[in-house]
Amino acid sequence: MSASTHSPVLKHHFEDLGQQHACERLGIWMFLATEILFFGGLFGAYAMYRIWYPHEFELASSHLNRTLATINTIFLITSSLTMTLAIRSAKLGQRGALIGNLLITAALATAFMVVKGFEYAEDFHEQLVPGPGFGTHYHQEAVSRGLDPAKIQLFLCFYYVMTGIHGIHILVGIGCILWVTWEAWRGTIPPENYSTVEIVSLYWHLVDAIWLFLMPLLYLAGAGMKH
């Protein structure tokens, strides 16, 4: 092969870096499309039940911890900013700034997961879970308002499945960001190959954007509910 004259980051089966980057970009956008459909199934199902059982969903939503969710939203939005700054650093060839920005992003993502963990612990402690562990006080509250406790549990199913899958995506994202950090530290992300950072950032922004839909759907649905 005549790869000797080419950039060391050019993979052998591509003609040039332009083609390689075009493939990588198109590939990640297509992957994002699959992710949107993956969550789209959940959003569609949620929307259906939300329309069918609006009052149960409001009541169940009002028991979630909105303060922690707001803090988490701030963490994720900020992490998207530092991720974008990382692309800029990579483009300009500023290795130190690149590594710094990536590490801040990973730290914010980890903070999100820690807060989420405390929130889950609180929910479990208060028996705000569907199934056999469902708290009797929630049951009685629903009955006293003339609502069906089974549908409160249905909301909680969505809450745990949606935030759980989103959390798994965050963990994968942390892994990817740390991998790019490692590559940057080794010096294998020269400015002409900044698209590696861009691709991880596109994934990260999607995870962030999904949270921006989860937050109002799950936490703010019952914001007007009085106890």
Residue closer to another protein (CB basis): 67 or 140: 140
Task: Give the closest residue to 104 by CA, choosing from 26, 187, 174, 169.
Answer: 174
Based on the shown chain and the rule CB under 8 A, indicate whether residue 130 belongs to the binding site for another protein.
yes
Least distance in angstroms from the C-beta of 207 to another protein: 15
Q: Which amino acid type is present at position 51?
A: I
Task: Write the CA distances from 98 to 6, 27, 43, 208, integer angstroms.
Answer: 25, 23, 35, 20
Q: How many residues line the site for another protein (CB under 8 A)?
A: 40
**Piece in contact with another protein (CB under 8 A), picked from 46-54, 61-69, 116-124, 206-214:** 46-54
Residue closer to another protein (CB basis): 85 or 142: 142
Based on the shown chain and the rule CB under 8 A, indicate whether residue 157 belongs to the binding site for another protein.
yes
Based on the shown chain and the rule CB under 8 A, indicate whether residue 168 belongs to the binding site for another protein.
no
Degrees, nearest 5: CA angle 199-19-99: 30
Instruction: Please give the structure tokens belonging to residue 162.
Output: 């949606």
Q: Which amino acid type is present at position 37?
A: L
Least distance in angstroms from the C-beta of 4 to another protein: 16
What residues between 6 and 25 interact with another protein by CB under 8 A?
A: 12-15, 19, 22-23
- End-to-end CA gap in the chain: 72
174, 62 Cβ separation under 8 angstroms: no
Based on the shown chain and the rule CB under 8 A, indicate whether residue 196 belongs to the binding site for another protein.
no
Instruction: Please select the residue that binds another protein; options are 72, 89, 153, 195, rule is CB under 8 A.
Output: 153
Q: Three-state secondary structure along 194-211?
A: CHHHHHHHHHHHHHHHHH
What sections of 53-148 are H helices per DSSP?
Answer: 54-62, 66-92, 95-125, 136-144
Applying CB under 8 A, the residues found at the interface with another protein are 1, 12-15, 19, 22-23, 26-27, 30-31, 33-35, 37-42, 44-45, 48-49, 53, 56, 130-132, 148, 150-151, 153-154, 156-158, 161, 165
